Structure 1
Amino acid sequence: TLPELKSNPFRKRICHVFSTSELKDGSLSFEDFLDLLSAFSDSATLEIKSHYAFRIFDFDDDGTLDSGDLEKLVNCLTGESADTRLTPEEMIQLINNILEESDIDKDGTVNLSEFQHVISRSPDFVSSFKIVL
């Protein structure tokens, strides 16, 4: 296992998204692994990186980021311990802020196009969405 992947809080989602296994167990073939490395490489475009980031954050694989996906995303970033987790009130406020900023059509979810619009304004996204070998 790559140390960068092993320590990534989204490792299970990353493997799930790149896995072509019919078992749906997150296992990666060599080709899957090469696809993963390609998407996380410096030469991958913003469009490719944002597409895969969106799929990684779409925990229920329904093609949108809803409040459930956003809560899981925040929990992955803050960790599992009680002292780092947000209170329910803080979580609701953060999700509302994210949707206010990102949900252009105001349907209560963030679709791929809206996600890519937000990511395009983030100068650090491309350089941080990578695995260095």
Structure 2
Amino acid sequence: MGQGKSQFTEEELQDYEDLTYFTKKEVLYAHQKFKALAPEKVGHNKNAKLPMTKILQYPELRVNPFRDRICKVFSSSNDGDCTFEDFLDMMSVFSEMAPKAVKAEHAFRIFDFDGDDMIGVSDLREVIERLCGPELKLGDSEIQQLVQNVLEEADLDDDGALSFAEFEHIIDKSSDFCHAFRIRL
């Protein structure tokens, strides 16, 4: 077929297809993209692990304000370094085919900076500061007002933080969430 020999067995490709939102062809394409980030390291080693600095060279991650958090959430070692399977999982969740519920679960983990299973005031402040970037430096009172607005809208139990259920409720009301939570292969 002119594609050359795959590093994966047919059984491995089938497993990847079963465990992701990708076809076998898309899995192979994802591996090409992963390999292109560090050809000298991946080469013929399908079990290679790339440092987060290499993963962040992926074009759509490079410009994402949550790039480091994305890598850490999908890293099986929780340090941002990624194996191909970590990378494939990341790309699968960010694909158009991933269901909204799966995207919401991962978005929640990305925004939960302190890892306490709640999106609290400090997490919201971090999200706002990253979304605004250094170009649009908001004052402390402006950030506090935005945090307060989010909590007034989404904190249904008034505990000062968003649980996953509250976060998911807001996501359900957002018609463009799935479009925004996407990275192309």
TM-score by length of 1: 0.94
The answer to whether the aligner puts 1:20 opposite 2:76 as a matched pair is: yes
| 1:127 is the counterpart of 2:127 | no
- CA distance in 1: counterparts of 2:148 and 2:71, whole angstroms: 29
Matches within 5 A, 1:95-114: 95-114=147-166
Q: Which amino acid aligns with 2:124?
A: L
Amino acid at match of 1:18: F
Instruction: Report SS of the residue matched to 1:105.
Output: coil
Secondary structure of the residue aligned to 1:70 is helix
Partner of 1:8: 64
Structure 1 consecutive aligned stretches of length 4 or more whose deviation exceeds 2 Å: none
C-alpha distance in 1, partners of 2:110/2:99?
Answer: 17
TM-score, normalization by structure 2: 0.68
Q: RMSD over aligned Cα, in angstroms?
A: 0.9
What is the letter of the counterpart of residue 2 of structure 1? Y
| Structure exhibiting the larger radius of gyration computed from Cα positions | 2
How far apart are residue 132 of structure 1 and its match? 1.2
CA contact (8 A) 2:117 2:163 kept: yes
Deviation at 1:127, TM superposition (A): 1.3
* Structure 2 residue aligned with 1:40: 94
Q: CA deviation at 1:6?
A: 1.1
Structure 2 distance, partners of 1:79, 1:94, is 15
The answer as to whether partners of 2:76 and 2:86 remain within 8 angstroms in 1 is yes
Structure of higher RCO (CA pairs closer than 8 Å, 6+ residues apart): 1
Residue of 105, 118, 125 corresponding to 2:170: 118
Structure 1: any 5+ residue segments left out of the alignment?
Answer: none
Distance 1:19 1:41 in 2: 17
How many residues were matched structurally? 129
**Partner Cα separation in structure 1 for residue 79 and residue 158 of structure 2:** 34
DSSP 3-state at the match of 2:82: coil
The one-letter code sitting in structure 1 at the alignment partner of 2:150 is I
What is the Cα deviation at residue 99 of structure 1? 0.2
Aligned-residue sequence identity (percent) comes to 48
Query: What CA deviation, in whole Å up to 9, does each residue of 1:63-89 have, x standing for no partner?
Result: 0000100000011111124xx111111
CA distance in 2, matches of 1:75, 1:88: 10
Q: Which amino acid aligns with 2:164?
A: L
SS at match of 1:108: coil
Structure 2: gaps of 5 or more residues: 1-56
